Amino acid sequence: MTDDDLERVLRDAFDAKARTAVGDTTAPRPLDVSIRRVRPFRHRSSWLAPLAAAAVVAALAAGLVVAFRGQLGGQDVVAGHATKIGTATPTIPGRSTAAPSSAPATTLTTPVHVALKFSDGSQFGVGIPIIAYLSRKITDARPFAAATVVTVNGRPAAGAWYFESSGAQPGYPLEAHYRLQGYWPAHSKISMELPVKGLSAGKGLAFDDSLTLAFSTGAANIATVDDTTHTLTLVSDGTSVGTFPVSLGATNTPTRRGTKVIMERGASICMTGPGYHECNVQWTQRLTYDGEYLHAAPWNIANLGHFDSSNGCTNLSTADAARLYKLLEIGDVVQYANASGPAMRLGDGYGDWNVSWPQWLTGGALATR
């Protein structure tokens, strides 16, 4: 084989090997692969030329791969795609490792926990709101409101949430109340589904749980307190039950006016305020966080039905307080249309019914639609 023949064979072999190693879709920068011409040995055997050709082809192919890898910055090329050698892509929580560099990474979210005030299976009066506590002050309540499904006796209810800052539950700075435009229907079954887990609560916030609630309502008990006649009148399911003499708050400790809802009850409790501490106060039914109650006040019998002299509570005789304690329940409504004190507000207790429906639909501290 002549030198020219050898050079031609080697060039053809090199071209074929290069195409196999690189792939059809990759065009590497031209390399200097010229072969230095050498003088043939004088007495080489006929088998030496093919053997030398094969060795040179292998060497050139290996050299080509090394040289080509060097041009790609230490990368292997497979089917036209580059993969970094000797490295692995780390897994970062909340971030997609498959997204291209131009795509924004998913932002890590802070969980917002939701807790309900009441548990399943309870019975309440028709004025009770559904109360939810939130572990953080969210910035977007619309997903929360949109996900809520409430039914009354199996039929969809047209209610709405109203949000406000709260100190009622430690660790939960925001609370939300759900109610209808009017009171719940009496003797009804109410259920709520709150499938909010994973939904946004605003930028960087997401709810971390979903909840359900099922409760019932009793009779439609509506008590009306008239500070002009110093009486309380109770109507149950549209029928008058009776009228009871009362004494409301004195001038320096007036009773709030507006609509209140019974929050809790106690057969006998201690009451403490400016200048007094009384225990064994009987048949108590709380109306505000700061201590307005319906309760027995045997020490104030002379003023019942005639004069306001309490510390803000609604004083009753022991017999009347005991009777009302048996008739009423948490969630029942007590209206004070003309009491002498300041207007009842939502945060003073379950003061939901002192907020007009158009205002309620605004969502309060957060828009809900």
Task: Indicate the SS3 state at residue 326.
Answer: helix
Specify whether 244 is located in the same domain as 328: yes
| Residue 334 neighbours by CB under 8 Å, 6+ apart | 223, 224, 225, 232, 259, 260, 261, 262, 287, 294, 314
| Cβ neighbourhood burial of 321 (10 Å; 0-12, 13-18, 19+) | buried
Specify whether 157 is located in the same domain as 49: no
| The pLDDT of residue 108 | 81
What is the model's pTM? 0.71
Confirm if 111 and 94 have CB atoms less than 8 A apart.
Answer: no
Specify whether 116 is located in the same domain as 69: no
Residue 351 in domain: no
Q: What does the buried/exposed string (b/e) look like for 62-101 if buried means 16 or more CB atoms within 10 Å of the residue's CB?
A: eebeeebeeeeeeeebeeeeeeeeeeeeeeeeeeeeeeee
**Among the three residues 217, 232, 262, which one is the final residue of a domain in this structure?**
217
Q: What total of structural domains would you count in the chain?
A: 3
Specify whether 152 is located in the same domain as 195: yes
Specify whether 315 is located in the same domain as 229: yes
| The pLDDT of residue 11 | 54
How far is 161 from 267, CA to CA, in rounded Å? 33
Residue 91 in domain: no
Confirm if 139 and 203 have CB atoms less than 8 A apart.
Answer: yes
Closest CA to 225 of 213, 234, 236: 234
Specify whether 138 is located in the same domain as 61: no
Residue 274 in domain: yes
Specify whether 226 is located in the same domain as 119: no
Residue 147 in domain: yes
Task: Indicate the SS3 state at residue 252.
Answer: coil
State the virtual CA torsion across 279, 281, 283, 284 in degrees, nearest 10.
Answer: -80
Confirm if 95 and 105 have CB atoms less than 8 A apart.
Answer: yes
Specify whether 209 is located in the same domain as 228: no
Per-residue pLDDT of the chain (369 residues; tens, 9 = 90+): 555 555 555 555 545 544 444 444 444 344 333 333 333 333 344 444 444 444 444 444 444 333 333 333 333 322 333 222 222 322 223 222 233 333 333 468 999 999 999 999 999 999 999 999 999 999 999 999 999 999 999 999 999 999 999 988 999 999 999 999 999 999 999 999 999 999 999 999 999 999 999 999 999 999 999 999 999 999 999 999 999 999 999 999 999 999 999 999 999 999 988 888 999 999 999 999 999 999 999 999 999 999 999 999 999 999 999 999 999 999 999 999 999 999 999 999 999 999 999 999 999 999 999
Specify whether 227 is located in the same domain as 329: yes
Pairing of strands 189-194, 149-152: antiparallel
How far is 70 from 82, CA to CA, in rounded Å? 13
| The pLDDT of residue 135 | 98
Residue 105 in domain: no
Q: The domain that contains 211 carries what CATH number?
A: 2.60.40.3710
Q: How many CB atoms lie within 10 A of CB 226?
A: 17
Task: Indicate the SS3 state at residue 50.
Answer: helix
| The pLDDT of residue 55 | 45
How far is 98 from 104, CA to CA, in rounded Å? 12
How far is 338 from 270, CA to CA, in rounded Å? 28
Pairing of strands 189-194, 172-179: unpaired
Specify whether 197 is located in the same domain as 255: no
Domain that holds residue 237: 221-338
Residue 299 in domain: yes
Q: The domain that contains 263 carries what CATH number?
A: 2.40.440.10
Residue 348 in domain: no
| The pLDDT of residue 2 | 54
Region of 73 (left: φ > 0; alpha: ψ -120 to 50; beta: rest) is: left
| Cβ neighbourhood burial of 247 (10 Å; 0-12, 13-18, 19+) | buried
Closest CA to 335 of 267, 248, 251, 233: 233
Residue with tokens 């110093």: 230
Write the CA distances from 293 to 79, 158, 186, 261, integer angstroms. 81, 32, 24, 11
Alpha carbons within 13 A on the beta-carbon side of 92 = 10
Specify whether 213 is located in the same domain as 128: yes
Specify whether 228 is located in the same domain as 188: no
Residue 73 in domain: yes
**Among the three residues 192, 217, 242, which one is the final residue of a domain in this structure?**
217
Task: Indicate the SS3 state at residue 170.
Answer: coil
